[in-house]
Structure 1
Amino acid sequence: MARTITVKGIGKASAKPDYVVFSMTLESKHKDYDKAMDMAADHIQQLNETLCGIGFEKGSVKTTNFSVRTDYDRVKDRNGNYQNVFCGYEVTHNLKLAFGFDMGRLSLALSAIAGCLSHPQLSVAFTVKDATAINEAMLRSAAANAKKKAEILCEASGVTMGDLIAIDYNWGELDIYSHTRYDCCEDAMPLMAKSIDIDPDDIDVSDTATFIWEIK
Structure 2
Amino acid sequence: MSYFSYPPFYRSTPPSQLSTPQHRTVTVEGRGKVTAVPDQAIITIGFVTENEDVNKAQAQNAKITTQGLAALKEINIQQEDIQTVSYTIQPIYEFTEGSSILKGYKVQHTFEITVKNLNQVGKVFEAVVAAGANIAENIEFVVSNKDLYYQQALQLAIKNATEKASSIGQQLGVSMNTVPIKVTENSTAISPRDYTLSLSAEATLQAAPPIQRSKLEIEAIVTVVFPY
In 1, the alpha carbon distance for the partners of 2:69 and 2:84 equals 12
Residues 46 and 133 in structure 2, CA contact (< 8 A), matched pair in contact too: no
What is the match of residue 19 of structure 1?
40
Name the structure, 1 or 2, with higher relative contact order (CA <8 Å, separation 6+): 1
Shift of the alpha carbon at 1:184? Answer: 8.9
Q: 1:175 to 1:96 in 2, by over 3 A?
A: farther
SS at match of 1:134: helix
Residues 11 and 141 in structure 1, CA contact (< 8 A), matched pair in contact too: yes
What is the match of residue 37 of structure 1?
58
**Under a length normalisation based on structure 1, what TM-score does the superposition of the two structures give?**
0.77
Residues 179 and 201 in structure 1, CA contact (< 8 A), matched pair in contact too: no
Structure 1 alignment gaps of length 5 or more: none
Structure 2 alignment gaps of length 5 or more: 1-21
Q: CA RMSD in A?
A: 3.0
Residues 183 and 224 in structure 2, CA contact (< 8 A), matched pair in contact too: yes
Q: Which structure has the larger Rg?
A: 2
In 1, the alpha carbon distance for the partners of 2:106 and 2:199 equals 24
In 2, the alpha carbon distance for the partners of 1:10 and 1:151 equals 15
1:113 pairs with 2:134 = no
What is the match of residue 227 of structure 2?
214
Per-residue CA distance 1:63-114 (angstroms, 9 max, x = gap) = 12333333444x342xxxx3343343333322111122342x2222222122
Name the aligned partner's letter for residue 157 of structure 1: L
Residues 26 and 121 in structure 1, CA contact (< 8 A), matched pair in contact too: no
Q: Percent of aligned pairs with the same residue? A: 19
Q: 1:180 to 1:63 in 2, by over 3 A?
A: closer
Shift of the alpha carbon at 1:148? Answer: 0.8
Q: 1:91 to 1:3 in 2, by over 3 A?
A: farther
Equivalent residues in 2 for 1:33-182, closer than 5 Å: 33-73=54-94, 75-77=95-97, 82-103=98-119, 105-162=120-177, 163-170=179-186, 174-176=189-191, 181=195
Residues 31 and 87 in structure 1, CA contact (< 8 A), matched pair in contact too: yes
**Under a length normalisation based on structure 2, what TM-score does the superposition of the two structures give?**
0.74
Please identify, of 183-192 and 120-129, the stretch whose mean Cα deviation from structure 2 is larger: 183-192
Shift of the alpha carbon at 1:5? Answer: 0.8
SS at match of 2:38: coil
